[in-house]
Amino acid sequence: MNDMAKNLVLWLVIAAVLLTVFNNFSTESSPQAMNYSQFVEQVQDKQVRSVTIDGYTINGERSDGTQFKTVRPAAQDPKLMDDLLANNVTVVGKEPEQQSIWSRLLIASFPILLILGIFMFFMRQMQGGGGGGGKGGPMSFGKSKAKLLSNEQIKTTFADVAGCDEAKEEVEELVDFLREPTKFERLGGAIPRGVLMVGPPGTGKTLLAKSIAGEAKVPFFSISGSDFVEMFVGVGASRVRDMFEQAKKQAPCIIFIDEIDAVGRSRGGGMGGGNDEREQTLNQLLVEMDGFEANEGVIVIAATNRPDVLDPALLRPGRFDRQVMVGLPDIRGREHILGVHLRKVPLGNDVKPQLIARGTPGFSGADLANLVNEAALFAARGNKRVVGMDELEEAKDKIMMGAERKSMVMTNKEKLNTAYHESGHAVIGLIMPEHDPVYKVTIIPRGRALGVTMFLPEEDRYSLSRQQIISQICSLFGGRIAEEMTLGPNGVTTGASNDIKRATELAHNMVAKWGLSEEMGPLMYDEDESHQFMGGGQSGGMLKSGDTTTRLDKEVRKIIDSCYAQAYQILEDNRDKLEAMTEALMKYETIDAGQLKDIMDGRDPRPPEGWNDDDSPGGGSPLVDEKPEVASAAGSGPDEGGADDDGDEDDETPRRRPSDPLGGPAGS
């Protein structure tokens, strides 16, 4: 309930209480009522001492001192006054009450004031404002919603930011300027008016902006791009003006605009309505950042993960002079980020952050914070006092492969089918050149998958070679081929539907996007996704004719057929290893890199640490009607995409890390 509603209820309660008290007092002292005939008789009998006539109401006092009250008829009684005077009754007349001009004006204007009050109340509710007459008042539509944070409110410093050393160096210059501007001005240098932080979600753009304010010890205005645009035209532009006016009064200061793509998208594609309001807001922002009036001492920092959709005028020098790339951390960066988050939890002596960093390629800072939190939760469930390496590994597996579904019971037939499927992926992944090493294979259901084959690269990867893509396509078909070899053509399940989809996408991108086909040459035949947001026009997709599309399809089919045949031959030549790996999965349910090496070397796989033959899993009864799934064939984590029983692809988009080749090599 807001403040206005609370005040209204309070005054209603007070009025009700006062009315009740007044009625009680007035009831206690009310005179005796009588009819008019009795009043006339008592006057003639000389029982009345005095009367007060107030219009139609007559209040009087008898000779014995008692009070009475009566109402005379509407018709005039000409003998009443004669009777009163003849019987020695004292008559007192009461002057009619006269209302002041202000009272009459208030009564006349009350309905209008009530309507205006209701209108202002609902307008404020639509604007989402608070009570009172301040920034959230009903007449403050055009006021800025930026939150002003003081030095005491911001505790974040550069010590709390890790994994983006280059970005920190870029913004440290801003801190130096805010602290000592003469150092730059005496050499003729000018600090950038705007800094745009660009990077994937979760990489720490907002955290880095907070650390700038914490280090500089200057006022910090924080606002989201969506806070500018409202349903009324002109409100956003007014808020931009008000925000910069407030910032000038607090200069030197920092304005931080999070998710600036909400208001800074490229102009020219609007058809009226809310888009016109957004463009007006953007125009005002452009003028404020670099117009006739200079904003001395006001630095604008913005963050976005969609720089491709921003208006070119926003990115030109003089507005956002500097773009700071806050990318995914490398292995050293991940180790430093883990060090920051691990300081907050009690650690065991066996924890090695460098090992965790190596096993988490493509993780952002937010992912690593989530990993540490999940490990702490695992330790708490186990009633442990410290977080050990086992909990961190378990948390990593949960994030990358999904949570274990221990309550799900599978038949031996389904387990065997899943084991063959995952073994097919693993065998081909271990044999194909330049393929990422196999990290773990399991037939324990995780997430939406009945089985997972996990690959991890030995080092961070920023691009893919043609051989690496071919190897991944081959390993993707390994599960389906293993089912076909062991169960026959009619025994192949729908579990490979997502494998087929991802292999087809890789082959298509090789031909149409990455220029890795000799037949089609180094041309881009796909639509440029970012071009759709930059004002339209013709793009690469317009190059395709009917003949070109046919040639593209044939080339994609040629790559798929070649990889399928190569993968089939590998499994044929290594059928003994496929059977040995399947047997190990049926016995242990999960095998790691050491056990996989034993199998590929022709030895019996070593049992897991602490293994007891009595622990061998048994069969059960099926509780679900699912088909086995497969993990990602890249070093980016498992594929959680599923398939339903009729072989159609699941509606959910499979989750993948930024290093997943589906997004293309770096710079593509």
CA dist 159 and 149 (Å) reads 20
Which residue spans within 166-325 are E strands per DSSP? 194-198, 220-224, 253-258, 298-304, 322-325
With contact defined as beta carbons under 8 Å apart, do 595 and 606 qualify? yes
The tokens 């259901």 sit on which residue?
445
Question: In this structure, how many other beta carbons lie within 10 angstroms of the beta carbon of residue 179?
Answer: 13
CA dist 362 and 400 (Å) reads 11
Dmax over Cα atoms in the chain, in whole Å? 139
| Phi and psi torsions of 433, nearest 5° | -70, 145
With contact defined as beta carbons under 8 Å apart, do 639 and 446 qualify? no
Residue 88's contacts (CB-CB under 8 Å, 6 or more residues apart) are 46
The tokens 């008898």 sit on which residue?
62
Helix (H) or strand (E) holding 70: strand 67-71
Query: For the chain, what is the total number of helices (H) and then of strands (E)?
Result: 20, 14
Catalytic residue among 374, 422, 589, 640: 422
Nearest Cα residue to 330 out of 436, 437, 203, 440: 203
CA dist 183 and 321 (Å) reads 20
Nearest Cα residue to 218 out of 159, 148, 162: 148
What is the Cβ-side half-sphere exposure of residue 123, based on CA atoms within 13 angstroms? 13
Residue 69's DSSP bridge partners are 33, 59
With contact defined as beta carbons under 8 Å apart, do 659 and 633 qualify? no
22, amino acid identity: F
**422 part of the active site:** yes
Nearest Cα residue to 442 out of 546, 265, 333, 595: 595
For residues 307, 313, 319, 320, the Cα torsion angle rounded to the nearest 10 degrees is: 20
CA dist 443 and 631 (Å) reads 11
With contact defined as beta carbons under 8 Å apart, do 627 and 422 qualify? no
Q: Specify the 3-state DSSP secondary structure of 300.
A: strand
Q: Which residues are catalytic?
A: 422
